[in-house]
Amino acid sequence: MSTPWASSIASGLSPPGAGPLAHAHVSRLCAGVLLVSEAQIRRATLLCLRRGLLAEPAAAAALAAVLGGQVGSDIYSKTVNIDLVLYVYLQY
């Protein structure tokens, strides 16, 4: 799948596109995609760093969605365990 090129602090997640294997996995296994802003990603990356965790921005994107309130209570029925994410967040 290819989309127009875009620049992002989270270069591992930005277009021009995912490889065919990654796209096939996401299409089959994911219910949807959340979009977070560059500012949200920067804040989440900085929070990780302040807590002693060196995370690249693409890795901090999921935390950015959680902190931005974009992950609702229906996440409990999904594969991601928000309790674990928050536990890790609170431990550091």
User: Using CA atoms, how far apart are residues 7 and 26, in angstroms rounded to an integer?
Assistant: 21
Q: Which residues have a Cβ under 8 Å from the Cβ of 59 and sit 6 or more positions away?
A: none
Determine the pLDDT at residue 46: 96
User: Using CA atoms, how far apart are residues 56 and 75, in angstroms rounded to an integer?
Assistant: 24
Where is pLDDT greater, at 14 or 54? 54
What stretch of H or E contains 15?
none
Structure confidence by residue, pLDDT tens digits, 25-62: 778 877 778 889 999 999 999 999 999 999 999 999 98
Strand runs labelled E in the chain: none
pTM of the entire structure?
0.67
Residue 19, number of CB atoms within 10 A of its CB: 9
